[in-house]
Amino acid sequence: MASIRYNPNGQKGRISYNADIVSGIVVLSLQETEGIELVPSKSKGIKICFEKEGIFADISVIAHYGYNVPELAYSIQQTVKQMVESMTKFKVAKIDVHVQSVIFPSAPASNPPAAPSEEGEQEKIG
């Protein structure tokens, strides 16, 4: 696990962040975004890299049917950037959002075919 040390204003002591903490903040921010779900996997569909330029995030989600995908991706980028920067004081350099699939609403149960009435329909033999 990468551990990043943050020392604001040259103060003594240090604050350490690791990728799991930042990933947790990303998960919290994604839970606030309506119309998406995280890709179910071991890593929860989130990859975090710490570089000199800032934090790079790679996020994979599943969109719900009826939501505008570009707007969802932009909303995810804005929410993640705001929450990570406000909670950790690190700069977010780049957030890549990958929409893996779309969840469509389940089809309503179709009515079973009606049984023919006995009076109006008779089989013709002949």
Give the pLDDT mean for 61-82.
94
User: Contact 21/48 with Cβ under 8 angstroms?
Assistant: no
pLDDT reading at 4 higher than 60: no
Which range among 7-11, 35-39, 56-60, 66-70 shows the weakest confidence by mean pLDDT?
7-11
Percent of the residues in the chain that have a pLDDT greater than 70, as a whole number = 72
pLDDT band of residue 36 (cuts 50, 70, 90) is very high
Range of the domain at 35: 18-103
What integer best gives the mean pLDDT of the chain? 81
- Whether 76 maps to a domain, the answer reads yes
Question: What CA–CA distances, in Å, run from 98 to 4, 15, 62, 120?
Answer: 26, 31, 8, 58
Cβ partners under 8 Å of residue 67, min gap 6 = 34, 35, 36
Q: Residue 24's domain is classified under what CATH number?
A: 3.30.70.1350
- Whether 59 maps to a domain, the answer reads yes
State the Cα–Cα distance between residues 116 and 123, nearest whole angstrom. Answer: 11
pTM here? 0.70
Whole-number pLDDT of residue 1:
45
User: Contact 81/29 with Cβ under 8 angstroms?
Assistant: no
Phi, psi values for residue 58, rounded to 5°: -125, 115
Percent of the residues in the chain that have a pLDDT greater than 90, as a whole number = 49
What are the DSSP E strand ranges found in the chain? 3-6, 15-18, 36-38, 46-51, 54-64, 92-103
- Whether 72 maps to a domain, the answer reads yes
State the Cα–Cα distance between residues 108 and 105, nearest whole angstrom. Answer: 9
State the Cα–Cα distance between residues 126 and 124, nearest whole angstrom. Answer: 6
Give the pLDDT mean for 71-93.
93
- Whether 7 maps to a domain, the answer reads no
pLDDT reading at 63 higher than 50: yes
Residue 3 token pair: 């551990």
Whole-number pLDDT of residue 90:
87
- Whether 86 maps to a domain, the answer reads yes
Number of domains in the chain: 1
